[in-house]
Amino acid sequence: MGTTGSDLSIRPLDPADAPMAARALSAWMTNAFSGTLPQAVVDAFTVERSERRLTAPALTLGVWQGSTLVGLGQADGNEVSMMYVSPDCRGMGVGEKLFASLLDAIAKAGHTQAELVVLVVNEGARRFYERQGGRILKDDSVHVAGYDLPHKRYVFSL
């Protein structure tokens, strides 16, 4: 699936979109981490867990190419708590537009910095956020499905 910036729309996720978006998010997360994380962690990326995440009280944006969802991002306070782009659309500007929209929303909420965490094994995402101006604030880990997963916390000036 090819895309250009002119045929994309970004809007808050509608509650009616949550079931379809949860299926996409679960598939994208599985695609991103299969073979790089323990299988028990990958198995935790269920549709049900994704739907709970998407209906949490936070700003969730969807990127649409026509009627097809091609990206999802979430901001909670000054934190970008989630961002995924369809594997078919990576490298086509979708992530840049989504990330800029999330940072804009965080700035409009009165924050002067945004933060996010990226798993160390997610080298592509780390390179992406560094290209977007992210600086590593600290190294830490998160506990998922019985595993401590190292991550890096990035900070962005707004």
pLDDT of residue 57: 85
Number of folded domains that form the chain:
1
pLDDT tens-digit profile of 61-104? 999 999 999 999 999 999 999 999 999 999 999 999 999 999 99
Strand locations in 42-127, DSSP E? 59-65, 68-76, 79-85, 113-119
* Res. 6 pLDDT band, cuts 50 70 90: low
Give the domain extent around 35.
5-157
The full DSSP string for 45-69 is --HHHHHHHHTSSSEEEEEEETTEE
Give the mean model confidence (pLDDT) for residues 112-128: 96
Give the mean model confidence (pLDDT) for residues 11-16: 93
Give the mean model confidence (pLDDT) for residues 128-147: 95
pLDDT of residue 1: 40
> Which of 75, 53, 79 has its CA nearest to residue 154?
79
**CATH code, domain with 92:** 3.40.630.30
pLDDT of residue 4: 47
How far apart (Å, rounded) are the C-alpha atoms in residues 11 and 30?
24
pLDDT of residue 56: 86
